[in-house]
Structure 1
């Protein structure tokens, strides 16, 4: 019985050594490679760029609704990382050095233009803080765009009081003319570019009169100037749903 116990003990010891050896081999093998990871997003908005392709040493990945990327099992060395975003963003390339283990590179994608931009359609929403101007970009097929970069933009408006009946009205007194503060709404599907005209910028307005207005919206981008008319601007805050 003692001899059998010695044999079992020896076998157990050999098994433990084998497991340790395999574990060490796996770790040693994996440590020969590097991983590159980081954040990739629109430079100005921080939003994900749908359909961007990242390539390093023949390894590639395509991202959709995420701003995180990772490429694994890259032999250490110097490489060229190539990033191909959809139309509207500038391609990104950079020489990088991959070391064993984790490597990090954050990639801000610079917007270049709004592709196939033909015109704008504008809407307004009267909130407690002011009149929100919503800008929708429309392509040459008449379709509202959903995927485009955030670009430097200037929004100017002229606001008149609306006189007359709903089907037979005209411009009345001019209430405001000039630039408005622009902002980006990542949660919006079509109208991500927006502006706000605060109520205190419109002198003499009385909410209780519940008047309507006409607004001309002028949008200035690097690729051109665009204009639209909103003829149903509420000159009073709408009740917000809770």
Structure 2
């Protein structure tokens, strides 16, 4: 019994001598773990967004205003800084890693300009944003590419924004496509495609004497097994 007691005391003593204090420090936002290089890229599906490369781009807002969502590709936290952006509303979405830029209609007869810089670690990306001056002749479609099946739902629509209230559209002679305008909305109705070849056409929106954006339309041909869908360009 004495030997067992002595052994137990010795083990407890050894355990007591091996205690360590571990201190955890929360990382400062923006600091990078040692050895990990920051990555950064920007992109957008909006046609007003023009990329020069992965980290430099420009956005050309219409005088009527609008919204552009910029996707931020990075492996770390990021922030942004804006210069001369009083005409812009900018929202940072940390969940989706997006920067949302909005502007109202331009009320002055001069172009608005701003620069937005995005920083992630030691990497930066730059967006040059402009907005057309008040009174600029312009026209834009809410969508300019369409995907229509050979059969089934054969209608689609889009809205038009223009500084010319008397804008019009022109299209080639196309017996399988009907375009109807009601206010600022254009509705497309198509005939079923029973051929084995795809159908494709384009039409032009016109404001003043010049042409605007050109919505394009490509129809898919029907197949005897199952109708396929088209790819719009």
More helix by share: 1
Q: With structure 2 as the length reference, what TM-score do the two structures score?
A: 0.30
More strand by share: 1
Q: With structure 1 as the length reference, what TM-score do the two structures score?
A: 0.29
